[in-house]
């Protein structure tokens, strides 16, 4: 299996809550709650490790409440190369109501010290020959400029290591300048980058193609229950997920990207890559936490996933989502 490095610059403790309908301004009772060490790169690493890869996690980790992360790394067989910085990691509250509505309350955490980028570069060392893929994922902490994220991506690219980026806003804009091999925006993130609503499949395809025209080889757009659009050098595909009961969409995008990178590293056929990744993401939304490739019915979920070539502007290209 492959060696993968994920970089998380703004990790979080996620408080995942399942409940009935929330009445604002009233006392509500939760059905279940779980506090879990998380962050996009951490979530990606957990899935990739479960898929059999050797995973190293790095980035910035607040030292005040680092223990839950360290416990998770040990239990999931993840190599810890995080740079400890003063302060605490943020706490995010994810409220999943019956019916599938999810509300995120994302907290603020540490402020990166001025020398954080230098320490991180030193910790990463020589990338060439050490990793088969690098994934930079998640938001930026206070004090960490978007241009610094671009530097990290450029560092990996200069070592001839495939780099994937999963972020949004100014961090995405800056990261694109490093020309990562792939990105995975969701619809909202892609619309924000495009500067306009993306209400049809044709509009989504056009925005993704604009990213390809800038030099991004792989553009993976997650569209929730509408599936996934993947534009790649080998062709374009769209997937439709299997029917599942949605409990929480938290971690679904991270799980999807982990499945995509797994298939690419294993050199699977593109349709197999997308069907497996989409099915794994569908498995994820059935419960809190990341997707489980060892789920008893995972093979059935793959079989129920539909993948077809996507030509873009065909007779159905202007259909609303």
Which candidate, 35, 39, 14, 51, places its Cα nearest to that of 291?
Answer: 51
Kindly report the backbone phi and psi dihedral angles of residue 134, in degrees, each rounded to the nearest multiple of 5, phi listed first: -125, 135
Q: What is the DSSP letter of 186?
A: B
181 a catalytic residue? no
Give the long-range contacts of residues 262-269, CB within 8 A, separation 24 or more: 262/47, 262/48, 262/51, 262/53, 264/133, 264/162, 265/1, 265/2, 265/4, 265/53, 265/132, 265/133, 266/2
Q: How far is CA 310 from CA 92, 100, 237, 271, 278, in A?
A: 36, 28, 5, 11, 16
- Per annotation, catalytic residue among 254, 292, 296, 297: 254
Which candidate, 44, 19, 94, 4, places its Cα nearest to that of 277?
Answer: 44
Q: What is the DSSP letter of 128?
A: T
Which candidate, 183, 192, 142, places its Cα nearest to that of 40?
Answer: 183
**Using N-to-C axis directions, what is the helix angle for 201-213 and 187-194, rounded to 10°?**
60
Q: Which residues are catalytic?
A: 254
């Amino acid at each position: 299996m492959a060696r993968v490095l994920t970089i998380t610059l703004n990790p979080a403790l996620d408080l995942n809550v399942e409940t009935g309908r929330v009445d604002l301004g009233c006392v509500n009772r939760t059905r279940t709650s779980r506090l879990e060490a998380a962050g996009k790169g951490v979530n990606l690493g957990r899935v990739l490790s479960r898929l059999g890869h050797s995973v190293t996690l790095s980035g910035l980790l607040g030292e005040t409440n680092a223990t839950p992360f360290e416990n998770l790394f040990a239990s999931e067989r993840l190599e810890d190369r995080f740079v400890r910085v003063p302060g605490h990691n943020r706490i995010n509250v994810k409220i999943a109501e019956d019916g599938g509505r999810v509300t995120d309350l994302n907290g603020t955490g540490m402020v990166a010290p001025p020398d954080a980028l230098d320490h991180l570069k030193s910790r990463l060392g020589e990338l060439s020959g050490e990793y088969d893929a690098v994934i930079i994922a998640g938001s930026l902490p206070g004090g960490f400029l978007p241009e610094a994220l671009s530097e990290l991506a450029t560092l990996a690219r200069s070592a001839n290591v495939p780099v994937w980026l999963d972020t949004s806003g100014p961090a995405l804009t800056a990261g694109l300048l490093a020309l990562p091999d792939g990105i995975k925006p969701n619809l909202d993130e892609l619309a924000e980058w495009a500067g306009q609503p993306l209400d049809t499949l044709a509009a989504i395809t056009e925005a993704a193609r604009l990213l390809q025209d800038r030099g991004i080889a792989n553009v993976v757009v997650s569209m929730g229950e509408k599936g996934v659009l993947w534009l790649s050098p080998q062709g374009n595909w769209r997937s439709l997920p299997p029917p599942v009961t949605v409990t929480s969409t938290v971690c679904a995008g991270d799980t999807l990207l982990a499945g995509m990178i797994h298939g690419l590293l294993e050199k699977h056929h593109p349709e197999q890559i997308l069907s497996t990744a989409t099915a794994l993401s569908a498995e994820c939304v059935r419960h809190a936490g990341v997707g489980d490739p060892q789920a008893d019915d995972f093979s059935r979920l793959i079989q129920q996933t539909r993948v077809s070539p996507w030509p873009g502007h065909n007779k159905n290209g202007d259909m609303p989502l």
